[in-house]
Amino acid sequence: MSNVIPLSQPDITESEIAAVVGTLRSGRLSIGPQADAFERLVAERAGRPFGVAVNSGTSGLFLSLIALGIGPGDEVITPAFSFVASANCVLHAGATPVFVDCDPRTLNMSLAEVERAFTPRTKAVIGVEVFGNPADMPELASLCARHEVPLVEDACEGLGGMLKGEPIGHFGRMAVFGFFPNKQITTGEGGMIVTHDDRLAALCRSLRNQGRPLQPEPSSGSPVPFESPGLGSWLEHERMGFNFRLPEINAALGVAQMRRLDQILDARQRVADGYFRRLGGNPDLILPTIPPDTLMSWFVYVIRLSDRYTAADRDEIIAGLRRHDIGASNYFPPIPLLPFYRRAYGYVPGDFPVAERVSERTIALPFHNRLTEREQDLICQTLEVMMQRMTFSRD
Ligand SMILES: Cc1ncc(COP(=O)(O)O)c(C=O)c1O
């Protein structure tokens, strides 16, 4: 058996395997009851009446912008510190991303910077719960409401989290979850749009399904998937759509995972607590800042080195952890400084000082439900040895 401690790992049990096999045996592999059930479970968790399952978080974000009518000439405010898809969806829609720097404590967008970024061309704001942290989301929603611009919540990292009793996925006019295997729950690949707006939900259903006629209600129960009255004709295309459907096999996996969501989130909280306990006293580490009244849905556990360490030190520490078979990574490079954003918009280092400083010193530690106490001891001891080695070689 390998001794490698992976950075992340999905939690798949016999119930997930049985669900997938059952769906394979059913013969219904697309547009069916599993996707409908998955939609209901995720929407309910986000406190929303409608869920629209799609084949990735990125497709969900893109579809949300298209459904909101965003296109060329429009600006969309989006974080500099996030996963690249939070901005790429704006480019895919033909609009212009306007990047905003992050708050150094929560790592979510700085509200003051969001306020400054509005122009008459702003048509939406993408608010990300970075690493699953819902900090400032109610305030961001109020700010958007004041400017009469929709908030699209990129909730890809936050399923199941809550702030002051409000679930992640409930702050934006639309919200999008992601189910890549490093997420809290997985469908292999997949995503979900949730909203309270029946018109937007119906439009997203049509757009994900090649622009076939709008379906106000999910398609469950129809015995023939491709020619049922609820779907309209298979060859009727009212608008230019996409194929962003989530296959039934993936949806079945999602249903089984959703049934265990609370158990999974509890396990992840235990692992996060284990890191807080072990690393809490180290003055050279900045641990995640969780606002009061927050129920975290832990996506990753990302620590930051103090300013005593450089980006090169951080890279050396990550390399050292990996040499000891401990999965670790930086998380994330600022989006505007990625090569194609630099080329397109001319961004240079220094444009997003907080995101840059943070991103130079982050280390994502191994984080998954089954991480043991012994493994956490080993990870934290190795980390501290690597950190000491860096300062020792310099001082
Ligand atoms: C913040 C954020 N947005 C969007 C995505 C994209 O999701 P997907 O990989 O399912 O397309 C992710 C997932 O990696 C993410 O972390």
What contacts 314, CB < 8 A, 6 or more positions away?
Answer: 305, 330, 360, 361, 362, 363
Q: What is the pLDDT of residue 393?
A: 75
What contacts 103, CB < 8 A, 6 or more positions away?
Answer: 109, 110, 111, 135, 136, 354
pLDDT at residue 2 tops 80 = no
For the chain, give every domain's residue range.
14-259, 261-394
SS3 222: coil
Question: Residues 188-241: pLDDT tens digits?
Answer: 999 999 999 999 999 999 999 999 987 544 454 444 445 454 555 688 899 999
Q: What is the 59 CA–ligand 1 centroid distance (Å)?
A: 9
Ligand 1 atom 7: residue of nearest CA: 57
Q: Is 46 in the pocket of ligand 1 (CB under 6 A)?
A: no
Q: What is the 361 CA–ligand 1 centroid distance (Å)?
A: 22
Q: Which fold has domain 14-259?
A: Aspartate Aminotransferase; domain 2 (3.40.640)
Q: Is 58 in the pocket of ligand 1 (CB under 6 A)?
A: yes
- The reported pTM is 0.95
Ligand 1 atom 12: residue of nearest CA: 156
Indicate which atom in ligand 1 lies nearest the CA of residue 129: 1
Q: Is 157 in the pocket of ligand 1 (CB under 6 A)?
A: yes
Question: Residues 72-106: pLDDT tens digits?
Answer: 999 999 999 999 999 999 999 999 999 999 999 99
Q: What's the number of CA atoms in the CB half-sphere (13 Å) around residue 148?
A: 2
Write down the architecture of domain 261-394 according to CATH: Alpha-Beta Complex (3.90)
Q: What is the 156 CA–ligand 1 centroid distance (Å)?
A: 5
> In this prediction, what percent of the chain has a pLDDT beyond 90?
92
In this structure, how many other beta carbons lie within 10 angstroms of the beta carbon of residue 389?
Answer: 14
**Parallel, antiparallel, or unpaired for β 294-295 and 162-163?**
antiparallel
